[in-house]
Structure formats: structure tokens, C-alpha cells
């Protein structure tokens, strides 16, 4: 085993060891050095240990480096849709070190060390190619106890006298009312909650009626935690998009994640 130190340095270390042990390890002669009995007792086990260390270091250094992949993803999409599925990707790609970075805004690829993004919007971001991975149609949801039978009888227009909440654009409620056939809803009173988790919580708590992405609350609807008082979904032009820089030379890890994600979105369990 090569230690990478000079003979003089080794000699000094041996002298220091002899002082610690209190016994000579080498008989020093003009023509060379011989091991003492104590030196011979240490020589074999020490050599064996150093050889094992060398073998371990070589085996570790021969391991293939894991490719790092950073994906910036909208928090609610990650929580509801991506996280329940991502172990399939991790298990199939043990050579990739996947890191999920939660952010509402699309990545600034010129400034951030991010490979891919999954974000809400219209997909028209400068210098970015975008592929839709989930429909962003908005629907009205509320806790079951919040929906009064009289409201259902009176129709969608009755919601204008209720507490309304939204996340994205002030005109989203107006668009929904128009889709539901309700006129005169321009500028209806609604409170903005700039976080999907918090908006969903308001609906679950029975505090009002929330506009949420239908596909991301599908499980809540199926389980009865939330209900749709009216079967109306409005397309505002915003969806969830996988995005990456235009003309980017994507890494192999990024290409594999893109392929996996696009396959997942069309699979039998693609809907949340």
C-alpha cells in the first residue's frame, strides 16, 4: 500500500509510536533496520488492516456516481399527485438522486440549478417548452354540511350570496358562473387564498365554497370529504405543465423522468 509520505516522515512516526508504547519497534543499524519482537507482533495485523482499508477505498471509489436530478414542482400537485407515485420512479432508477423542490413559480432556468419544472399556468413561459400533464379545469367544492338543500334547488346563481374563495385570477368565479349559465356575476365578491392547501382546508372546514382544480380534489370527492354542489367545470386556460428550457440538452436522468411522468399521466391511475 502506497502511503504517499517520505521515509523521514515514516521514521518520525515510528519514533513517536515507540514513545507511546514504551518499547522499541525497530533495531536501527548502519546497514538497515530490523524489527524487534514487539515490531514483528504489530507488523502483520497492521499490514492486514491497511490492506483491507485500501480494498474498501478502491471498492467505494469504483461505485458509479449517482446522477442528480432536481425537479421544481407546485406543492399541492406534488402532495396529491406526484408524491404518491414517485416511489415507482425512484425504485426503477436507483442511479438517480432525485430532489423535489417545491415552488409555485416556474423555474428561472438561467439562475436556478433545476432540470425540470411542473407548474400551474398557461404554459406560455419565455424560453420554456411545456407539455400538459394535468387538466386544470376549476370546479366548485365545499364540505357536505355546507351545502344546503335550498341552495341546490335555487341553482348555481345562489352561490353569489355565499362566501366564495379562489386562488388564481379574480375573474375565475365570473368565468365559472358564465359556464353555469348565470348572468350578471361580474365582480362578484370572493376572497383570494394564495395557497392551494389552505384553500382546500377552508372548503373542508365548511367555511365556504372554493374553486379548485377538479383533478386534484378527485379523491376528496370520491371519498365524500368534499362535494360539488353543481357539476360544472370551467377551463380557464391554465393547467399543470411539465416544463424545461427550449433547446436544452437534457440530461439522461431528466429524459428518463420526463418519459416516466408522461407515461404516468396516461396510465390507468393517471387521475388523482
We report the CATH number of the domain holding residue 34 as 1.10.10.10
Q: Is the pTM of this model over 0.75?
A: no
In this predicted structure, what is the pLDDT of residue 271? 37
E strands in 185-230: 191-192, 209-213
pLDDT of 56 > 80? The answer is: no
Q: Which domain holds residue 95?
A: 67-136+238-266
Mean pLDDT of the chain: 88
In this predicted structure, what is the pLDDT of residue 79? 95
Crossing angle of helices 83-92/252-266, nearest 10°? 130
What are the tens digits of pLDDT across the range 215-271? Answer: 999 999 999 999 999 999 999 999 999 999 987 789 999 999 999 999 998 753 343
pLDDT of 54 > 90? The answer is: no
What are the tens digits of pLDDT across the range 167-183? Answer: 998 899 999 999 999 98
Helices (H), 137-171: 149-154
Q: Which of 39-43, 115-119, 166-170 has the lowest mean pLDDT?
A: 39-43
Q: How many other CB atoms are there within 10 angstroms of residue 74's CB atom?
A: 23
Q: Which of 31, 61, 91 is the last residue of a domain?
A: 61
- Could you tell me the CATH number of the domain that includes residue 111? 3.40.190.10
What are the tens digits of pLDDT across the range 77-105? Answer: 999 999 999 999 999 999 999 999 999 88
One domain, residues 31 and 162? no
Residue 129 phi/psi, 5-degree rounding, is: -95, 135
Amino acid at each position: 500500500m502506497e502511503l504517499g509520505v517520505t521515509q523521514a516522515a515514516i521514521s518520525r512516526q515510528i519514533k513517536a509510536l515507540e514513545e507511546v508504547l514504551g518499547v522499541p519497534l525497530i533495531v536501527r543499524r548502519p546497514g538497515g533496520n530490523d524489527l524487534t519482537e514487539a515490531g514483528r507482533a504489530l507488523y502483520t495485523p497492521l499490514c492486514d488492516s491497511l490492506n483491507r482499508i485500501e480494498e474498501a477505498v478502491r471498492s467505494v471509489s469504483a461505485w458509479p456516481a449517482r446522477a442528480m436530478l432536481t425537479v421544481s414542482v407546485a406543492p399541492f400537485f406534488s402532495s396529491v399527485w406526484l408524491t404518491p407515485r414517485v416511489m415507482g420512479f425512484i425504485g426503477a432508477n436507483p442511479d438517480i438522486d432525485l430532489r423535489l423542490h417545491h415552488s409555485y413559480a416556474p423555474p428561472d432556468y438561467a439562475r436556478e440549478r433545476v432540470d425540470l419544472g411542473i407548474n400551474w399556468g398557461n404554459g406560455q413561459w419565455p424560453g420554456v417548452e411545456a407539455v400538459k400533464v394535468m387538466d386544470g379545469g376549476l370546479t366548485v367544492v365545499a364540505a357536505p354540511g355546507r351545502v344546503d338543500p335550498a341552495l341546490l334547488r335555487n341553482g348555481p346563481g345562489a352561490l353569489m350570496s355565499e362566501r366564495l374563495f379562489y386562488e388564481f385570477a379574480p375573474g375565475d368565479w365570473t368565468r365559472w358562473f358564465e359556464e353555469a349559465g348565470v348572468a350578471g356575476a361580474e365582480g362578484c365578491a370572493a376572497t383570494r387564498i394564495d395557497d392551494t392547501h389552505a384553500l382546500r382546508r377552508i372548503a373542508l372546514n365548511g367555511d365556504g365554497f372554493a374553486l379548485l382544480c377538479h383533478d386534484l380534489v378527485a379523491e376528496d370527492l370520491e371519498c365524500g370529504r368534499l362535494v360539488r354542489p353543481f357539476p360544472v367545470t370551467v377551463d380557464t386556460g391554465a393547467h399543470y405543465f411539465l416544463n424545461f428550457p427550449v433547446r436544452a440538452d437534457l440530461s439522461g436522468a431528466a429524459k428518463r423522468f420526463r418519459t416516466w411522468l408522461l407515461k404516468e399521466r396516461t396510465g390507468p391511475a393517471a387521475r388523482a
